[in-house]
Structure 1
């Protein structure tokens, strides 16, 4: 790598840090939940979502952070055309799985903290019942949306001439034959992401509203120690979910804003493409760190928190994130 190229130096350092954090952190989160599954023979709904979310983030890091890091350090010809298609397809699918599961997590937490008279109350039983059906539908949705981009992925072009309407990922290219395919593919991803972002933002706003109302009633909860413990666990879980949603909205908001801008130009500047990819990938590092420090089942494996009494653990298991 030519160290005189400032952009390449910063790119290499940024993606190297993301890789060093995201891969071990996501592996650890998956291990913690799988260990719990083996030990207790079950996982709570929120834990299943978080475990699958960490797996999605891990696949994203393997398919994007590592190639970007190697490319920034000067490695070339990482993939052939087939490798590019598979790598891009996996990244696009699990990127969609990441946003849809974050939305599902915020929705489920909103359902858990909603009062029994709320219109969301019936979903307390329905979401766990249809959880795997929902996850399968996410895979089908993002496979359908991104199959065209995967088919238009290439490792290189003849004479190294990059045609118009091409996304340059440095290690692979996504080239569309015309402006219609270029714009329609981008808008399909943009509006799908926007739907999930608006939904998770609405659910997070609802959670914050309930937490505000809860703060006014906290004195009455002190009369019951068990009620206080359960309420505290519920509040911690809700705050963790709101934190994840807020971070996701910021990171992927920047990603989608740049993506939308790129649809208005024939050739996307390499620097702009690098910034977009960085913000599309940073969540894979931040998400597991938040989970490690906020989820009792996970941070107990690192002994970040003292073991809770059995009764308290039973109360907390229903909603901790």
Structure 2
């Protein structure tokens, strides 16, 4: 019994650390991007997309990390049936929005690099209205296709014949009929496959662009490039890193989830590892922007300077 409690505490600390780190990183970026959008200072077209991405990341972590932490620590069930429906629905929607937003970010950067796009089209894709509209469609799409979650997810149950969704210890889902399961699987596979295909296609284009760009630079024999070319190359590399992280973590998470669903009595630690892996992208992706975007350090450096200067100004008065 002591060993079981010890294991639960270890998993609880692990989930708590991951959840706290993810929320802190995404919230820091959310403050920065919202401040930039509100003040319109050095606003970039991708800021609107990144703002949506970190918001979706936060929802994924909050809706899964906190319940998993409390479950690992052995706390009593705190979600009733309505709570399970709301929390799991938010998780599915936020997870889908993360996928579509990452795809949108990759596609946006690929369109900026494409030399065949005319000038008016380039201005159109840079328009905030166009980006807001695409972001709005992402939310509407996943709010609609995940509506079945509200019907099928139930609250805590002691019935061993229930097919657990393996997301929370507190929530469960009855075994779906073959027709309902098939239709749901087709809808999810189609939407996820569409976004995955677009993401792979745009990423391949950007890799090819970087390869040709490197060849041109070698032919020029000069390290002095236009600032815009340097910026676009750097932004492309950052997005490719982000897409690579998403594909790697999402593939591993999907593989583990499918493996768990095929096992009659899955091992508890395997379920916990699957939950940890599913939170890797929303937890670690903010680090890519924190260490690559110079505005992050400038923004928080300015906030820290203002905070430290405030006492000296008061004492001077």
Normalised by the length of structure 1, the TM-score is 0.82
The answer (yes or no) to whether the contact 2:19–2:61 under 8 Å persists in 1 is yes
8 Å CA contact 1:77, 1:155 repeated in 2: no
Residue 19 of structure 1 contacts residue 61 of structure 1 at CA under 8 Å; is this kept in 2? Answer: yes
CA displacement at 1:241 relative to structure 2: 0.2
How many equivalent pairs are there? 299
- Flag structure 2 segments of 5+ consecutive residues without an equivalent: 303-317
Name the CA distance, whole Å, in 2 between partners of 1:185 and 1:163.
21
Question: Is structure 2 residue 163 aligned with structure 1 residue 173?
Answer: no
Q: Tell me if 1:234 matches 2:232.
A: yes
**In the alignment, which residue of structure 2 is the partner of 1:78?**
78
Other structure's SS at 1:21 match: helix
Partner of 1:60: 60
Q: Aligned equivalents of 1:293 and 1:121: distance in 2?
A: 33
Worse-matched range after superposition: 195-204 or 284-293: 195-204
CA gap of 1:118–1:38, structure 2 versus 1, over 3 A, is: closer
* Residue 246 (str. 1) matches residue 244 (str. 2): yes
Residues 133-152 of structure 1: pairs in structure 2 closer than 5 A: 133-152=133-152
Aligned to 2:297: 299
CA contact (8 A) 1:49 1:101 kept: yes
Worse-superposed segment, 76-85 or 41-50: 41-50
Structure-2 separation of matches of 1:46 and 1:138: 15
5+ long unaligned stretches in structure 1: 305-321
Aligned positions of 1:285-296 closer than 5 A: 285-296=283-294
Does the C-alpha gap of structure 1 residues 210 and 179 become closer, same or farther in structure 2, counting only changes over 3 Å? same
RMSD over aligned CA atoms reads: 2.8
The structural deviation recorded for 1:301 is 2.3
Partners of 2:46 and 2:287 lie apart in 1 by 17
The structure whose Rg is larger is: 2
Determine if the alignment matches structure 1 residue 205 to structure 2 residue 181.
no
Q: Encode CA deviations 1:121-154: one digit per residue, 9 max, x unaligned.
A: 9466246342222222222221222111232222
What pairs with 1:34-183 in structure 2 (closer than 5 Å)? Answer: 34-40=34-40, 43-115=43-115, 117=116, 122=121, 125-126=124-125, 128=127, 129-157=129-157, 160-168=158-166, 169-183=168-182
Q: Give TM-score, length-normalised by structure 2.
A: 0.83
Q: Check conservation: 2:48, 2:132, Cα contact below 8 A.
A: no
